[in-house]
Amino acid sequence: MGLTLTEKILNRASGRSVSPGDVVEVSVDLAAFHDLTGYHVVEVMEKIGAVRVWDVNKFVLAFDHLAPPPTERAAEIQVNLRRFAKAAGVKFFHDVGDGILHQLLLDYYALPGQVVVAADSHTTTVGAVGAFAQGLGASDVAAAVITGKTWLVVPEPFRIRILGRPGPGVYGKDVALHLLSVFKAEGLNGKSAEFIVEEPSAFPMDYRATVSNMGIELGLDAAMFVPDGETVSYIRSRRGVEIKPMAPDADAKYPDGYDVELNKLEPLVAAPHSVDNVKAVSEVEGLDVDYVFIGSCTNGRLSDIEVAARILRNGKVKSRCVVIPASRDIYIRASELGYIDTLVKAGCIVTYGTCGPCLGGHFGLVGPGEVAISTGSRNFRGRMGSPEGRVYLANAAVAAAAALNGRFTDPRKYLV
């Protein structure tokens, strides 16, 4: 019987043949943490007297969650982590403004077939390039950073086919929300999703990254796109590196699966206060919106900034709107293409390289009684500020159309 992608990766990483349910020790190809979780990891390392990195070529540190630091405590944490980076000889350190950790890992570090761990639940994002990626707690990440190894329970492979081409206004966010509407939050717990794209060019890397990012909301242990021509082109364009795609065997056995037909999807939203409270945008059209956030590790990519600029290019926002490209490089490319200028002239507040609003950290929180649209990944009560606020999740087109009109609006009228 042939092997799935999950089995191939974990067989290599563990040095043995694995089966679902096995508890195995695996070698780590890439480990990371950021400012919000990193100080907990370093505390663990200090307690056991092992403040070191097993391989500085396989470790990444980024300041993103509270960057620039909005409080004295956040500034203190970053000072201490800079000291750690210097003492440990960290080679890949991204300070304030460089970008969100998951975007940096996706663009410059993660590769197909790798085992990637980081101290953040959205580590699954780099599954977009075909890496087996998991977020772990501080103690487990500390162990991985010190030894280069971790343990895991081998998940059950679950095949998801992405079929056809999306219509106007439909993006990766809508695929993620569609899956959440079908399987519900945590509904695929203990599984490793292997996404197979029928027409690679119809579902580019930005879309894949959004789906992999929100895989954790489905409870997935990993959310991997089987590498294809799109993967090869993406890594070549970002790093000048040629890769040989790793794929499941033709006769690989999947206990279960699901097909997503892109041409049957429409723009979706997740209504308060759960990621699986999914509705068509038409069901909420006309509802007044106070605040719009376009950004995060879920939807702060160049294609998100582009569609927001396209919708807002001839108007002024009626809802306050914060836009944050996920990295400095994305910001620069968006600026060169004129998107940043368009957004600023439309009345948006634009910065780069921070998670800020997504977790209710800083740079724009939701107030009591306010209705907000976020392109982020979570909308539980109090996630983005006041517990009395109401947060809807949506793609960047839905968010931009709402900002333009001050209320929920079907974005497809601007995209045909």
Q: State the pLDDT at residue 244.
A: 85
Do 224 and 297 lie in one domain? The reply is no
110-122: pLDDT as tens digits:
999 999 999 999 9
Question: Where does a domain end: 262, 284, 301?
Answer: 262
Q: State the pLDDT at residue 246.
A: 87
Do 209 and 283 lie in one domain? The reply is no
Q: State the pLDDT at residue 416.
A: 78
64-90: pLDDT as tens digits:
999 999 999 999 999 999 999 999 999
304-320: pLDDT as tens digits:
999 999 999 989 999 99
Query: Among candidates 242, 169, 171, which has minimal Cα distance to 206?
Result: 171
- Please state, rounded to an integer, the average pLDDT across all residues of the chain: 97
Whether pTM exceeds 0.75 = yes
Do 291 and 320 lie in one domain? The reply is yes
Query: Among candidates 50, 52, 12, which has minimal Cα distance to 28?
Result: 12
Alpha helices in 97-252 (DSSP H): 101-108, 138-147, 172-183, 205-213, 229-239
Do 247 and 297 lie in one domain? The reply is no
Do 218 and 299 lie in one domain? The reply is no
Q: CA 150, CA 14: separation in Å to the nearest integer?
A: 10
Do 277 and 258 lie in one domain? The reply is no
Q: What confidence tier does 388 reach under pLDDT thresholds 50, 70, 90?
A: very high
Q: State the pLDDT at residue 258.
A: 98
Do 205 and 257 lie in one domain? The reply is yes
Q: State the pLDDT at residue 245.
A: 83
Q: What confidence tier does 353 reach under pLDDT thresholds 50, 70, 90?
A: confident
Do 298 and 196 lie in one domain? The reply is no
Provide the number of structural domains found in the chain: 2
Return the number of other C-beta atoms located less than 10 Å from residue 92's C-beta: 18
Do 93 and 142 lie in one domain? The reply is yes
Question: Where does a domain end: 262, 282, 317?
Answer: 262
Q: What confidence tier does 352 reach under pLDDT thresholds 50, 70, 90?
A: confident
Extended beta strands in 198-302, E state: 222-225, 257-261, 268-270, 278-280, 291-295
Instruction: Give the domain range for residue 166.
Output: 5-262
Do 15 and 140 lie in one domain? The reply is yes
Do 93 and 158 lie in one domain? The reply is yes
Question: Where does a domain end: 262, 278, 296?
Answer: 262
Do 181 and 299 lie in one domain? The reply is no
Task: Tell me the CATH number at 389.
Answer: 3.30.499.10
